[in-house]
Structure 1
């Protein structure tokens, strides 16, 4: 049986719209007015409210990822003759087996499973991914992948010596791009920030004080409900590598370009119009994560730092490894990384800990 429109899941809004239900005409000013307005809603209106709340339970990026994974499952079912909705445990297990044979990692298979589960639950169907054959295959695949894994390459950390080399290279260039790039690298390294957190910052997120910066993160990977978190960045002892001074220098450079609005991107894109005699123009769009990675890789090449296994995550990993090597406490590292589980911290520190905590030095060799 091939895919038909009837088998497609109900449409799910990937972006929760600003509902008119939340802003009645004249804007209710009291709880009583709002309560009276809510009682006048039809079941169709309440259904919209319910759908918006349900969609908001998962991050927009997660829903977009699920939609992409679901599209792959629909294509598989059409090609193999399975019904996609509701799907059988057999169909799901064959799909995951096909994906595993193609060499996809276990985390990707788990994402496929989560997407299939999501669209079945949304449509009111039984979750086929709970079938024994699906569960058993995924457990077995995880063990096989672990036993066959040889030297899985994690991103290499960039440590403080590397950061000094990068800053030295960028200091030799007085362009706006170099000033921005140095501020971006030091800001991310000192804050142990994820690249998505760094590039999303606005000027108003980084008030500079005598001690440093308490960077406000409205949402992040570990705080998708939007409670808000802070990442502290203290002033450095060396002017050449002080993250606060580098950021202040960049903010002053933007100010000279007439950019002071707190809602403007902290690390904006630029466009070079030198060939027209107009110089470099700062744009109103933030640099993206891919652009940030290219900025770091370009700086590494200039500093002659091997960049084959370097990404922006190398800054976050490097912060934790360097700080722990310099006697930072577990409490400090957990707070900086904004982790709740110490096991997550150990994933970052395990390689350094293997040397720092080795008893082989007591063997008299």
Structure 2
């Protein structure tokens, strides 16, 4: 849990700093960030109304949820309830989110608003080619080409992509092996490897593109994807995950596509969608994407597969 949840609000006393450190690492960094923001919002709501936020009354949570329903998506409401629940559990308090009343309100909101997610588009292979075609020979362009192609070929999450270091790479005859030390589905840090094969087209080959970037940037240690300033100087620290989304949107726009429909996650969903559309078996897709759940993986396969083996294709229409 975050400092806001554990220390400032819940007032849970951990005996040592080492113990708190391990507890904080029980969740992914992005999850912790979300918990912080969600808990802060709930605390502000309670303070404005002079009601307790820990332990919160069931009616307080019900009213909070009902008020959010006017402006927030269902997914946001569900996530904030999860944050409230985590805060109460961290403080060894009974969570009001488990009550019948809260569950009933959520069920009613879902039926009223619907739960169809507003997903960003997958950057399928045709989009990737168009994006790469917009890039030239500047150092920034060389970096962006490598980042886009590695992100797509490895079906990486943004956080995974920016966390790759030189020591995680192994170039082989077959391509590139990348060791992931941590990921969303590997919270215990066991690590696993992803293979990035050579591409048939040198212009869109992820392995050659990364080799070019490393040679031009002269990066020999640390994070492989870094900032490049206007004078062409490479930064010392790795990019943040939000920068991946910025780069994707920039290239999408340059390619003549609607950048509002894409995000940093479009690279990951793009590989999964493209592979599924081309008949790659689900086990192989999951091996590359790192998904543990077949249901979750299938949710990434977007509209590109709607007309593949469509039941209405050969019925005589």
TM-score, length-normalised on structure 2? Answer: 0.90
Instruction: Give the C-alpha shift of residue 294 in structure 1.
Output: 2.2
Root mean square deviation, CA, Å: 2.2
Aligned to 1:93: 62
| 3-state secondary structure, aligned to 1:360 | coil
Give the structure 2 partner of residue 122 of structure 1: 90
Asked whether 1:355 is paired with 2:307, we answer yes
2:251 corresponding residue in structure 1? 299
Q: Of 199, 204, 213, which residue of structure 2 is paired with 1:236? A: 199
Tell me, in whole angstroms, the C-alpha distance in 1 between the residues paired with 2:38 and 2:307.
Answer: 41
- Counterpart of 2:11? 10
Structure 2 counterpart of 1:156: 121
Q: 1: distance between equivalents of 2:19 and 2:248? A: 44
Counterpart residue number, 2:210? 247
1:268 to 226, 229, 238: 226
**Which piece of structure 1 moves more, 347-356 or 334-343?**
347-356
Alignment map for 1:306-321 (pairs within 5 Å): 306-321=258-273
Contact 1:88/1:128 (8 A) holds in 2: yes
Query: Take 1:56 and 1:296, find their aligned partners in 2: how far apart are those partners?
Result: 29
Deviation at 1:126, TM superposition (A): 1.7
Q: Aligned partners of 2:19, 2:243: CA distance in 1, in Å?
A: 38
* Higher relative contact order (CA closer than 8 Å, sequence separation 6+): 2
**How much has 1:183 moved relative to structure 2?**
0.7
CA shift for structure 1 position 326: 1.8
Is 1:213–2:214 an aligned residue pair? no
Q: Which residue of 1 aligns with 2:5?
A: none
Q: TM-score, normalised by structure 1?
A: 0.78
Query: CA shift at 1:228, angstroms?
Result: 0.8
Q: Aligned ranges for residues 1-365 of structure 1 at < 5 Å?
A: 8-10=9-11, 44=15, 50-101=19-70, 103-146=71-114, 153-170=118-135, 173-255=136-218, 259-261=219-221, 264-273=222-231, 280-365=232-317
Q: List alignment gaps of at least 5 residues for structure 2.
A: 1-7
Check the 8 A contact 1:89/1:130 in 2, yes or no: no
How many residue pairs match? The answer is: 310
